[in-house]
Amino acid sequence: MNVTLTVNGSHHAVDVPADTLLVDLLRTELGLTGTHVGCDTSQCGSCTVIKDGVSVKSCTVLAAQAEGASITTIEGLGSADDLHPMQAAFRECHALQCGFCTPGMIMAAVDLVRSAKANGAALDERSVREGLEGNFCRCTGYHNIVRAVLSAAAQMEATS
């Protein structure tokens, strides 16, 4: 079936089998391998991307459900020369080790900061931990991820 969608600002029309998952469309059809697959039960969050402004687990979305949608993946969030504050904070706070969970973690964290702001809620350690409980990291013990998200949230607040 044909799916048309916008990914990181570029328009794409692809022809994929009807049971194709969004994550496979991104990785295989578009070669955007920054989005990872870590499980088969929608638990780990490695595949998290932003769809129409909201984070989704792209292993749990059919490509067909992304018809007409606008998707942002880690590749579209910021570049090496112009990092998104969340990307910069992950590096600064050593919030990644093997890097496998990192793209999904960063996308989930970006959405966490956005939705907290939309709800007028201030993030603290507890709410960051709860907000990221759908993303597994086996390397960092989450300690530095929490620090990074709080630091980026402050940064994003200051610059918006």
Partner 1 sequence: MSSQGIGASVRRTEDMRFITGRGRYTDDFNLPRQTHAAFARSPYPHARITGVDTSAAKDVPGVSSVLTGADMAADGLGGLPCGWLVKSKDGSDMKQPPHPPLAAERVNYVGEPYAIVIADTPAAARAGAEAIIADFEELDAVAAVDQAIHAATIHPEAPENRCYLWSLGEEEATNEAIEAAAHVTSLKIVNNRLIPNAIEPRAALANFDASNGEITLYTTSQNPHLARLILAAFVQIAPEHKLRIIAPDVGGGFGSKIFVYSEETAVAWAAKRIGRPVKWTATRSESFLADAHGRDHVTHADLALDADGRFTALRVRTTANMGAYLSTFASSVPTYLYGTLLAGQYKTPNIHVEVEAVFTNTAPVDAYRGAGRPEATYVLERLVETAARELNMDPAELRRKNFIQPEDFPYQTPVALEYDVGDYEASLNKALELIDYKGFPERKKEANARGRKRGIGFSCYIEACGLAPSQLAISLGAGVGLYESGEVRVNPTGSVTVYTGSHSHGQGHETTFAQIVASRLGIPFEDVEIVHGDTGRVEFGLGTYGSRSAAVGGSAIVTATDKVIRKGARIAAHLLDADLDEVDFEDGIYKHRSSNASKTFGEVAFAAYVPADYPNDLEPGLSEKAFYDPNNFTYPAGTHICEVEVDPDTGTVEVVTFVAVDDFGTVINPMIVEGQVHGGLAQGIGQALFEHGIYDDFGQLITGSYMDYCMPRADDLPSFKVDTTVTPCSHNPLGVKGCGEAGAIGATPAVINAITDALGIREIEMPATPERVWRACKTAAEGGQ
Task: Please report, as ranges, the residues that interact with ligand FES according to CB under 6 A.
Answer: 37-39, 42-47, 57, 59, 96-102, 137-140
25, 61, 146, 152: which one binds partner 1 (CB under 8 A)? 146
18, 54, 80, 118: which one binds partner 1 (CB under 8 A)? 80
7, 23, 44, 66: which one binds partner 1 (CB under 8 A)? 44
Cα 53 to Cα 69: distance, rounded to the nearest angstrom: 10
Question: Which tokens is 150 given?
Answer: 């709080």
Q: Evaluate the CA torsion angle 130, 96, 37, 114 in order and state its sign.
A: positive
Closest-CA residue to 136 (of 51, 28, 66, 57): 57
7, 69, 116, 137: which one binds partner 1 (CB under 8 A)? 137
Cα 37 to Cα 59: distance, rounded to the nearest angstrom: 7
Contact 1, 18 (CB under 8 A): yes
Interacting residues toward partner 1 by CB under 8 A: 17, 19, 27, 32-41, 43-44, 46, 73-75, 77-80, 83, 87, 90-92, 94, 96-103, 106, 125-126, 128-130, 132-133, 135-147
